[in-house]
Amino acid sequence: MRRAIFPGSFDPLTLGHSDIIRRGVTLFDELIIAIGSNAEKKYMFSIEQRMQFITAAFQSEPKIKVFTYKGLTVDFCKKMDAEFILRGLRNPADFEFEKAIAHTNRKLSEIETVFLLTSSGKSYISSSIVRDVIRNGGDYTVLVPDTVRTS
């Protein structure tokens, strides 16, 4: 079975994430969306909210599973028996950053990282931009799946 992990904070899930997930799921027998937790980071949405956003968005896709994890992504991959890490690339800066992580992960565990380019119409979207739009009362709904709503 070809199993991949798509790790991230997903704070919140964006249309860019959804694009990578919908295209990535066609490449693997199972895609695990892994919501990472970093004690150093301050999140806008709780881990429960983020899990709910993702689960609701992909409830009709049986090949997608959603989990949370702490620690190294490669350790989570071993625990889940995943051979691949899926990552999305929006721009050259993403590539340089992700390349260093992929090389490190490969050195630590021999796991393969698969990169997909975000669709051009979504390459400008990032979770940090969405959070800024939310904080400032803008219409963030054009940047996220319908399952992502705040009160």
Task: Between 40 and 67, name the one with better pLDDT.
Answer: 67
State the pLDDT at residue 35: 98
Catalytic sites, residue numbers: 17, 41, 90, 127
Q: pTM for the complete prediction?
A: 0.93
Asked whether the predicted pLDDT for residue 82 surpasses 90, the reply is yes
Question: Residues near 90 by Cβ (< 8 Å), separated by ≥ 6?
Answer: 16, 117, 118, 123, 124, 125, 126
**Amino acid at position 75, single letter:** D
3-state secondary structure of 57: helix
The pLDDT, as a whole number, for residue 144 is 96
91 vs 49, more confident: 49
Indicate the Cα dihedral angle 113, 71, 101, 147, nearest 10°.
Answer: 60
pLDDT at 150: 61
Mean model confidence pLDDT for the chain: 94
Domains and CATH numbers, the chain: 3-142 (3.40.50.620)
Residue 5 and residue 114 in contact, taking contact as beta carbons nearer than 8 Å: no
pLDDT exceeds cutoff 90 at 120: no
Sheet (strand 30-37) strand order: 64-70, 30-37, 3-8, 84-89, 112-117
Query: Cβ(14)–Cβ(26) under 8 Å?
Result: no
